[in-house]
């Protein structure tokens, strides 16, 4: 069921809700450099989420990119996803492991140092940290600031994906400050030119990362 993906080498993680144009939108952003995809859909019925996810799984397979389902390990299993992402109020990481097994990707959201403390003892493949700035996709949740994400990354032996307000304009500075893995939502899902915006974001990430590698 699961492909083995090394997320340490993946930097651009897209969370996208159901879209009627998914068969066009998703290949465009994958072609431009998105290298992890999550269906983040909390409002629609399970049957619609499953139908959308199956379309996305097939596209992601063609591009060799991991596909992750939001919230539900049961739906992740049903659609053949590579894993699931859960929040603090969702089912536990351990439950996800029991349903999906040891090779599945399991991501866990964190928003505070105490939550990250607990996450370090769990069998998550990666954690997310943030949102570093307040965002409409996390209604009512204040921004954690960049310092929280940096703290999490420094303490973790697993990838930490930063959430909240990442764009092609600010990602270079975030990388210069030490961050490496980024989640985007609105920058691409609300874009009128998703291919070119994804391409610009990918280029900004790659350019900044190349400056952090010292020549031998």
Q: From first to last of its 216 residues, what are the pLDDT tens digits of the chain?
A: 556 799 999 999 999 999 999 999 999 999 999 999 999 998 999 999 999 999 999 999 999 999 999 999 999 999 999 999 999 999 999 999 999 999 999 999 999 999 999 999 999 999 999 999 876 666 566 778 999 999 999 999 999 999 999 999 999 999 999 999 999 999 999 999 999 999 999 999 999 999 986 544
* Residue boundaries of the structural domains of the chain: 7-211
| Strand extents, DSSP E, 35-180 | 36-39, 67-70, 83-86, 105-110, 126-129, 160-162
**Polymer length in residues for the chain:** 216
Residue 28: what pLDDT? 98
Q: Residue 205 and residue 10: Cα distance in Å, rounded?
A: 11
> What local confidence, expressed as pLDDT, does residue 98 receive?
97
**Bond preceding residue 131 cis, omega within 30 of 0:** yes
On whether the 7-211 domain is CATH 3.40.190.10, my answer is no
Say how far apart CA 209 and CA 139 lie, in whole Å. Answer: 31
Determine the pLDDT at residue 216.
44
Instruction: Please state the pTM of the whole predicted model.
Output: 0.94
Neighbours of 192 (CB within 10 A): 6
């Amino acid at each position: 069921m699961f492909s083995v993906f090394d997320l340490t080498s993946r930097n651009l993680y897209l969370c996208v809700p159901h879209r009627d144009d998914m068969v066009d939108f998703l290949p465009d952003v994958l072609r431009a450099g998105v290298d992890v995809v999550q269906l983040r859909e909390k409002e629609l019925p399970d049957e619609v989420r499953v139908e959308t996810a199956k379309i996305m799984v097939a596209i992601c397979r063609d591009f060799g990119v991991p596909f992750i389902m939001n919230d539900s390990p049961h739906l992740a299993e049903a659609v053949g996803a590579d894993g699931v992402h859960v929040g603090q109020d969702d089912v536990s990481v351990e439950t996800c492991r029991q349903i999906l097994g040891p090779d599945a990707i399991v991501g866990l959201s964190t928003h505070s140092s105490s939550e990250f403390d607990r996450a370090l003892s769990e069998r998550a493949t990666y954690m997310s940290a943030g949102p570093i700035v307040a965002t409409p996709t996390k209604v009512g949740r204040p921004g954690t600031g960049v310092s929280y994400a940096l703290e999490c990354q420094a303490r973790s032996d697993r990838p930490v994906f930063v959430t909240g307000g990442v764009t092609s304009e600010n990602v270079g500075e975030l990388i210069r400050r030490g961050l490496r893995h980024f989640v985007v939502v609105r920058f691409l899902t609300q874009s009128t030119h998703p291919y070119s915006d994804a391409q610009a974001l990918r280029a900004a990430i790659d350019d900044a990362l190349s400056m952090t590698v010292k020549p031998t």
